[in-house]
Amino acid sequence: MAMIINQFEEKVIKNNSLPIEWQSESALNELEEFLQENWNQRKALYNDEELYTKQQFLGFTSRRGISTKNYVGTVVFKGQQLNIYPKMFREEKEDDDTSELELNHLMGNLIQWLEYCSKFEFPYINIKSELKGVDNLKELFITVFVKNLTQCFERSGYFQYEEKTEGLSSIKGRFDIKDYYTRKYANGVLDKFQCTYSSFEFDNLLNRIIKYTCKKIITDTRSSNQKAIRSILTKLSDVEDVRCTPKDCDKVKLGKMHANYRIILSMCKMFLLNSTSTYKVDNAESFCFLFPTELLFEGFIGGFIQDVIGNKGKVRIQASEVSLVDQVIFQGKSYGKAFTMRHDILCEIPDKGVFILDTKYKQIQRFEEAQEDEEQFRLGLIKGVEQKDIYQVSSYAVKRGVDKAYLLYPLFRNEENEPDMVTLQQVIKTDGDSLESLKNISVYLVRVPFVFEDDIDKVKNNLKQAIEGIFT
């Protein structure tokens, strides 16, 4: 019988709490190897700048168990399932009760976050209708893929100019003169011309990839999706059956007119990549869909801010044109800039200026819970806020020539917005000791909604209010 483990991120799961199929050292070695395969392929889902070559999804400590890290989602291995939930799903900071955790809740939140994340190729779908009957992330992704592919095909199929080379009775495109005189003419075939030309074809590389992907996943999904896939395959009946690889997906170049197919192509690549690392162990399927929570939080907030300000301003994620050191000098020779500054979110709004926002996926104490005593009140307000983060955004502000920077933290599940943000003011000497060199820098601590409950619109409205409070 399949065992399902629900756990929060950044927790240890002891060996005796794992499914029996996972407990042996050899099984854990297999699991780690499987995760490594998926780690190498993660860019099919998202682009990160993680420098680690060794997988970071789960930790393995002396083969006595596993530890979850800052990744959320689902791992299925040898038929047993581990669901990892964001720590913000806890009702309180120290609450580790997992009995109320539901996978549908996690998947619903993932869809909301991914809607706004530019680093993730993932379309938005109606949660309530699409999550019905879905019991894992793989099924969810197939459902999303099928739904969007069906919609694209209903509007119009994908046609593309394909280069063809064949013998024709009349000249078309580029005529191969050398072939004609050395082969055709020499053999008495005077009415055949070897030509290379462009033809507007439905039988193209993208549709071949889609067809091959559909055939790969049709047996791994529920009956309603199977029915829809069969309908898609019928529409692709004139497309050649060929084996496709993830590298084939990289060869497809989509123009602006077919932007809706970019997500479909990305998901095809995801399924094809996962099929290389998804394998049967003891006749049980294994798969892995895990997302980095820090990237989700940053991308979601950045995308949501852009949605709020619209065409009134520009939002950039990981803006990096500014360096901490303007010149590196050795023996009188300049070697240029060093220590590139990467702002999580940089907002540029005409008439309002530049806003530096750094997202910190960390748990800090609720501002209203600080003690009555003045000294303890001061310390309580900033409990959990790390000094290095203040240093970081302060240096950003100085280099950008602004006097404000913002640190954004997520609220716990079911928490209400804080009535006010906390302001940390400091005086920074930029040059010498003169009064003119003194610069007041304010770092604002803002706690924002991140976890969606049943009332999705309420959470979005609360987040919108918090964002608008920054810009006003």
Do residue 66 and residue 206 come from a single domain?
A: no
Q: Vertex 120, ends 36 and 307: CA angle to 5°?
A: 155
Name which of 92, 89, 60 is nearest 73 in CA terms.
Answer: 89
Whether 419 maps to a domain, the answer reads yes
Do residue 78 and residue 15 come from a single domain?
A: yes
pLDDT-based confidence at residue 231 (cuts at 50, 70, 90)? very high
Do residue 83 and residue 152 come from a single domain?
A: no
DSSP 358-420: EE-------GGG--SSHHHHHHHHTTT--HHHHHHHHHHHHHHT-SEEEEEEEPPTTPPPPSS
The mean pLDDT of 293-299, rounded to a whole number, is 92
Q: Which positions ≥6 away from 405 have C-beta within 8 Å?
A: 356, 357, 358, 393, 394, 396, 397, 441, 442, 443, 444
Output 301 or 169, whichever has higher pLDDT. 301
Do residue 227 and residue 153 come from a single domain?
A: yes
Do residue 358 and residue 462 come from a single domain?
A: yes
Whether 428 maps to a domain, the answer reads yes
The mean pLDDT of 359-367, rounded to a whole number, is 86
Question: Which residue range forms the structural domain that includes residue 56?
Answer: 1-108+280-291
Q: Vertex 454, ends 448 and 460: CA angle to 5°?
A: 35
Whether 306 maps to a domain, the answer reads no
The mean pLDDT of 301-307, rounded to a whole number, is 93
State the total domains in the chain.
Answer: 3
Do residue 204 and residue 338 come from a single domain?
A: no
* Residue at a domain's end among 291, 322, 347: 291
Output 236 or 432, whichever has higher pLDDT. 236
Whether 435 maps to a domain, the answer reads yes
Q: What is the pTM of this model?
A: 0.79
The mean pLDDT of 16-24, rounded to a whole number, is 90
Do residue 372 and residue 358 come from a single domain?
A: yes
SS3 content of the chain, % helix, strand, coil (to 5): 40, 25, 35
Q: Which residue has the tokens 């959470």?
A: 459
Whether 453 maps to a domain, the answer reads yes
Do residue 259 and residue 402 come from a single domain?
A: no
Name which of 446, 444, 447, 322 is nearest 390 in CA terms.
Answer: 444
* Residue at a domain's end among 259, 291, 323: 291
Do residue 266 and residue 287 come from a single domain?
A: no
Structure tokens at 110: 């993932």
The mean pLDDT of 191-214, rounded to a whole number, is 82
CA pair distance 398, 439, nearest whole angstrom: 9
pLDDT above 70 coverage of the chain, percent = 82
* Residue at a domain's end among 255, 278, 301: 278
Do residue 145 and residue 78 come from a single domain?
A: no
Residue 175 has pLDDT above 60, yes or no: yes
Whether 118 maps to a domain, the answer reads no
Whether 120 maps to a domain, the answer reads no
- CB atoms near residue 147 (< 10 Å): 17
Do residue 137 and residue 271 come from a single domain?
A: yes
Predicted local confidence at residue 279, as pLDDT:
44
Name which of 352, 351, 346, 353 is nearest 315 in CA terms.
Answer: 346
Residue 409 has pLDDT above 90, yes or no: yes
Residue 116 has pLDDT above 70, yes or no: yes
Question: What are the helix (H) ranges across 5-136?
Answer: 25-40, 103-116, 127-131
Residue 50 has pLDDT above 80, yes or no: no
The answer to whether 422 and 383 have CB atoms below 8 angstroms apart is no
Whether 62 maps to a domain, the answer reads yes
Do residue 412 and residue 338 come from a single domain?
A: yes
